[in-house]
Amino acid sequence: MYELMVICDGDLENAEARKAMDEVQGRISEIGEVASFDFWGLRDFAYEINHKTRGYYSVIELRAEPGAMDPVERYLRIADEVVRHKLIRLPDDEAQRRGLLGEESTNSH
């Protein structure tokens, strides 16, 4: 289980930011499964990033094998519309707390 936060360029239109996130979700679906997607919309940054002060925030919870997200991360590093991204592996107990683990994992308690 992973959590991916993506910040798209605040100079984009809302529809363009959503389209960029559709592309990211499509790439994830090729190698894993999107468990949840949350589009937070346009937010101010705490500090300037690449001469930008705002961006469109999205958070994706996903299931993928270790290392499977490498191509998606490579894409996010070079995508012009992406200002920042952060991928973290969720510890099993946190993934279970969020209801993201399958039945076989939750029955082991």
The pLDDT tens digits of the residues spanning 45-55 come to: 999 998 999 99
In the block, which residue shows the tokens 């029955």? 107
pLDDT, tens only, 18-58: 999 999 999 999 999 999 999 999 999 999 998 999 999 99
Spatial separation of the C-alpha atoms in residues 22 and 45, rounded to whole Å: 23
User: Residue 47 in contact with residue 99, Cβ under 8 Å?
Assistant: no
Read off the pTM.
Answer: 0.85
